[in-house]
Structure 1
Amino acid sequence: MLKKLVVFSFQNIHGLNGSAKFIKQFEDNKVFFNKNQVDLDIYSNSAAFKEEIVYRKSIIFAVKRLIKKLLLFTVPGTALLIKLSILNHAKRTVDQYTASHSDTDCSRTVFLFNDFFTMSYFFERFPLEQNTVFMMHNNGETLKMLFERYPKFRRSPEAIKMIRSEQRLLNKVKRIIFVSHVAEKEFLKKHPSLKDKTRTIYIGHKDEKIVSECDGKHLEMLTVGTVSKRKNQIGVIKALAKIKDSSIHYTVIGGGDGFNECQKFIREKKLEAQVTLAGSKENVKEYMKNCNLYVSNSYDEGLPIAAQEALECGLPILTTDVGGCSELIEENGLLIQPGMKKLIKAIEELNRRKDELKIMGMRSRKVFLQKFCLDQMLKEYVDLIDEICG
């Protein structure tokens, strides 16, 4: 009998961040779900703009960014920013579903939420028990990333309301899905009573068989992601300034609040020949093809999508041991604690071991094929739907 999967996300489905790419995988594989007797609907903020790279170069984006900086100076301003940039989008996403929703029997419908905020609005509209699944892209702490990005928001009445509603909402969902086993384990330390609801399903990727073609004569490092304090690309650039080896090159793909700081430091230290700030790009795997080391120097993560794509491209991984990043490493790189000294030591070690990077890259491909293949992820979600619907 036909089942239905309804996916919600307040984000732009065509965005470049990890959680948006996760939802896009569902949209791109509707045929797979249909073949497995699952009808798929997606409700998201996709109407806002389809080409995020073009949008980020527009005057509208520049003006919004300036307004955002001004709002962040105060608690009420930060709360207003969260309302405009997140909560209103979440509400509109649920409104899309409400406007088109006519089913009275949802017993064979599973509702998958890609974020806490859309789930919260959904339960306001539909308080009765539903077949709901909450996907957590973070390190197992529901609101941590939001509060770290907007620290003043934590003191707002809206944030207090979210914190108070967290346990109630988690109690209502049928399943809670994590991107890593580490995240699931951390979550259960705080919510041990929810153990029967949790499981880890790795985010999968289509294997495009784009493999690194870097000759390995020099260390060509790459990081992909929002340029920010959390991702800490500036830390890698500062490490290169201390190492003083002009043969090492580092490419940063992505835009964000930390971009200007990186740009300024590069100019001050005259590192233009060693560091390339490429901005936001869609074809990140084409850049990976020309590198031989992927670097994730984050202070906090769930399990970074770009690092998984680096595994697919056969790149060794140098990553900090945060979130689920340890699950990327199986003799295919180095796992370090955050810190400048440890980062410098790791870069210098891998630079000395350049002749081993090809072998490490082959191990990365093996990790990808074992854990992060798209077909495996899609099958696990179909099995989850069958399990919930009975």
Structure 2
Amino acid sequence: MGASQNPTVAAWPRMIALVDMNAFFASIEQRERPQLRRRPVAVTNGDEGTCIITSSYEARACGVRTGMRLREARRLCPGLIRVTARSALYAEVSTRIMDALRDQVSPDIEVFSVDEAFLDLTRMQRLYGSAELAAEQVRRVIHAVSGLPCSVGVAGDKTTAKWAAKQRKPNGCTVVAPWESAERLRYVPVTELCGVGRGIGAFLAQRGVRTCGEMAALPVGELARRWGNVGRRIWLMAQGQDPEAVRTDAAPPKSIGHGKVLPPATTDERVLRTYLEHMAHKVAERLRRHQLEAQQFFIGVKTDMGWVGGRQLTAEPTDDSRPVIMLCRRVLHEVWLGQPAFQVQVTALDPRLANIQLELFAQHNPHRGSQNRTLDEVNRRFGSLTVGPASLLGRSMTADVIAPAWRPHGHRHTV
């Protein structure tokens, strides 16, 4: 691994690192295209995309931020260069990085997102000698396999490590020893901690807790009564004692879904039907890929008044898109009333391992499963929907977006 042993350094009870890739998508584009290096770059979804997914640090210096519309960003940064996202490339680079970290730094890794990972270094402390040397090894490994910069935070718990990684960007390292964490977090707003959103922040503010240091004066029971175990964890997080372990295995999926943003204020039923059917095909393909099936599906169309649609049931658990498409058509015919729509969503709500023993009285097409498997193999080899129904010829051609729960392997490996 390239690190020297130093058994004289006192071991931490736990040592956890958070790796945060810096402006990940934009950094990959600058690596791939030398003409973009040291230039303000904004990445959008598709050639017509107007919402910024991420931006380079040169653009951020001008005030450009994720979620900003391209027109506003260009007012702040007239020289801004828009680049179309290449999700498959980003996922490939992330996979290389995560695999290298597992093989060359620590086998105890939790992929938190496409550009973040927790590493439990507790068992590796004698090998690296210190948190600083461990963090340097992380950065060396990532640069060797990707050529990209990253920031690393090392602490005695996950929450403090994630906070620490944000303190020196880009390409920095921050170490917070376990016995220093409460003091280092004392004046940090509680809403800066991962998982503490505005709702929990408002709840705490009403009780006089705005900074982490003020948390100790609040009885833990206050949070536990309102938020249960989550509340207890937040109370400990604010004091640098997050008990959450690094999770090396992805939890079984609670849902599998796909959505797509529509052209603005869509009222054409044919367009809606095409988009919904496309999402149904993507969900069914993922179910088959992981030997899953589902019977409950959320079929939704988003309008100015919120989502219309809701939970729908197929006759029996399925991994076939056809019964899901029938549910989509039912929602359009019975629930959607022609109001302008902006987004569609199809989600399998109860994925479970496929039942290979057929129900006695269920009607099955003995050829459908083999047909689907053959089409899946063709499409995985030559690209999504290389072979597919004619009804999807008018589908959206915007690039797929990497899901927040993306993982390099397993059921969350999808864009």
TM-score (norm 2): 0.28
TM-score (norm 1): 0.29
Larger Rg: 2
Greater strand percent: which structure?
2
